[in-house]
């Protein structure tokens, strides 16, 4: 069941958006709650390179969204599970505005009402909106998408760092399929997803730390992640470790981050 606003604000345990925000850390002056920083420190103490992972995943998100709006020419973006706004760096609507001006439209959809409250303060509430929506209820997501977008034109759906928070029993593949099937040709799906394939023991420790603070995670194998793109045409290099998907000099760290796959598919 969805937490109420007051529960989300007052509960002592972290939310995934807040831990993610804390893990992205000081590089761009972010401030985190102490509770969230404690969780990040627990991950680091368990040997999990969480800062490198979230930064590489964030860099992938920025490159993939730019690819969708600039290279594929898509002006409408449904960003599901955006986490907290980065504030000091780029976000989905600033990228869409840069390339499409007043034609761009973004809908931020997150199950966490605190996340949505932050996006509502950060967006104009008209061309760019935020709604409390649950990916596991794709028909409700689509109803909001139909109200916000012109579905005669393509939409890019962003699902970065979200699907690993959805249990297999909640049919993540079926939910993504339901949304993608409703989109016109020329639309795109952007996914990044945690995997334990390269180092099951290390990713298992991350899962353990996070489950102890009430944040379950479900890493998946390459084939399962590729399954989100079934029937779509790969854009660019296909499904790869996030830091290898069209890397720029900013991702030029060795070794590459291999605990998350990322890809873009064309509808």
Ligand X SMILES: C[S@@+](CC[C@H](N)C(=O)[O-])C[C@H]1O[C@@H](n2cnc3c(N)ncnc32)[C@H](O)[C@@H]1O
- Tokens 């490159």 locate to 63
Among 82, 154, 196, 263, which residue sits at the site for ligand X (rule: CB under 6 A)? Answer: 82
Count of CB atoms situated within 10 Å of the CB of 140: 14
Smallest distance from ligand X to CB 206, Å? 12
Q: Residue 147: CB partners within 8 Å, gap ≥ 6? A: none
The yes or no reply on residue 20 touching ligand X (CB under 6 A) is yes
Q: Residue 39: CB partners within 8 Å, gap ≥ 6? A: 14, 19, 22, 209, 210, 213
H or E element at residue 88? none
| Contact string 166-205 vs ligand X (x = CB under 6 A) | x---------------------------------------
Stretch that binds ligand X, among 63-71, 105-113, 177-185, 226-234 (CB under 6 A): 105-113
The yes or no reply on residue 160 touching ligand X (CB under 6 A) is yes
Report d(CA 195, CA 251) in Å as an integer: 19
Nearer to ligand X, 61 or 228 (CB): 61
The yes or no reply on residue 161 touching ligand X (CB under 6 A) is yes
Using DSSP's 3-state secondary structure scheme, residue 260 falls into: strand
Sign of CA dihedral 152, 113, 227, 254: positive
Q: Which of residues 43-72 bind ligand X (CB under 6 A)?
A: 57-58, 61
The yes or no reply on residue 134 touching ligand X (CB under 6 A) is yes
Helices (H), 158-218: 172-181, 200-212
Among 42, 81, 138, 261, which residue sits at the site for ligand X (rule: CB under 6 A)? Answer: 81
DSSP 8-state assignment for residue 249 = G
Stretch that binds ligand X, among 130-138, 199-207, 234-242, 249-257 (CB under 6 A): 130-138
| Interacting residues toward ligand X by CB under 6 A | 16-17, 20, 57-58, 61, 80-83, 109-112, 115, 134-136, 160-162, 165-166
């Amino acid at each position: 069941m969805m937490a109420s606003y007051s529960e989300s604000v007052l509960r002592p345990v972290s939310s995934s958006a807040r831990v993610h925000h804390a893990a992205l850390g000081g590089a761009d002056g972010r401030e985190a709650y102490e509770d969230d920083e404690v969780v990040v420190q627990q991950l680091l103490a368990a040997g999990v390179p969480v800062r490198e992972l979230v930064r590489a995943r964030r860099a992938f998100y920025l490159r993939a969204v730019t690819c969708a709006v600039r290279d594929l020419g898509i002006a409408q973006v449904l960003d599901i599970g955006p986490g907290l706004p980065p504030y000091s760096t780029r976000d989905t609507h600033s990228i869409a505005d840069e390339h499409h001006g007043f034609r761009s439209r973004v809908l931020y959809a997150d199950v966490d009402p605190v996340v949505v409250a932050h996006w509502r303060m950060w967006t104009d509430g008209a061309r760019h909106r935020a709604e409390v929506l649950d990916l596991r209820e794709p028909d409700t997501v689509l109803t909001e998408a139909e109200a916000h977008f012109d579905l005669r034109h393509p939409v890019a759906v962003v699902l970065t760092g979200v699907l690993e928070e959805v249990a297999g029993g909640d049919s993540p593949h079926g939910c993504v399929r339901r949304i993608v099937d409703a989109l016109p040709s020329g639309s795109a799906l952007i996914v990044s997803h945690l995997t334990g394939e390269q180092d099951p023991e290390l990713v298992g420790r991350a899962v353990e730390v996070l489950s102890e603070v009430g944040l379950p995670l479900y890493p998946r194998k390459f084939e399962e992640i590729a399954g989100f793109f079934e029937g779509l045409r790969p854009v660019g290099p296909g499904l790869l470790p996030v830091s290898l998907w069209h890397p720029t000099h900013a991702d030029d760290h060795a070794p590459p981050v291999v605990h998350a796959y990322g890809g873009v598919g064309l509808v």
